[in-house]
Every structure is written in C-alpha cells, then in structure tokens.
Amino acid sequence: MKARFLRFAGVKSRARRASSIGLFLTLFASAAQAQGTPEQRRACTPDVYRLCAGEIPNVRAITACLRRNRASLSEACRSAFGQAGG
C-alpha cells in the first residue's frame, strides 16, 4: 500500500512540475516583452530547471534569474534569450 502511494505521489509531483514549467513556457514571452518561439522556450527549459527551479512558477522571477545567470546559461538559451529581448 505504501509503495502504491509513493508511486502516486511521484506522478503527482512530476505533473505539478510539468504544469509549472508549462506555465513558464506559455508566459515567458510576455514577461520578456517579446513573443518567443517554441524553439526559444525549449532552449531555456533545462536552464530554468538547473538555475532557477526555486522561482517556478513566477515568470518574472524566472526571467530575472535567467538575466542574473546569463554567464551560466547554455549557448542555446543565451542565444534564444537574447533574441527574445532579455
């Protein structure tokens, strides 16, 4: 019974994380005051988890975190973030 609950809790946690990052991806462009492409948003998703996970789902805080950590961003995200006007 305990294992079943833990398995369900893990799924619920993953679903919550996925919905949070989905919200970020949906609102990223408006927070950066530009419409980012799906490719641009995909490029930054790993960096958001790596550098700014504590800011999810606050889009403004994520954007500020990415700006603060610009030197640590992946090349793909740095390029995409620059294109989005960040």
| pLDDT tens digit sequence for 7-28 | 555 556 776 776 666 655 555 5
What pLDDT, in 10s, does the model give residues 57-83?
888 898 899 999 999 999 999 888 776
**pTM summary value:** 0.56
pLDDT band at 3 (very low <50, low <70, confident <90, very high): low
Cis amide linkage into residue 46, ω under 30° from 0:
no
Question: Domain ranges in the chain?
Answer: 38-84
Nearest to 48 by CA among 25, 16, 15: 25
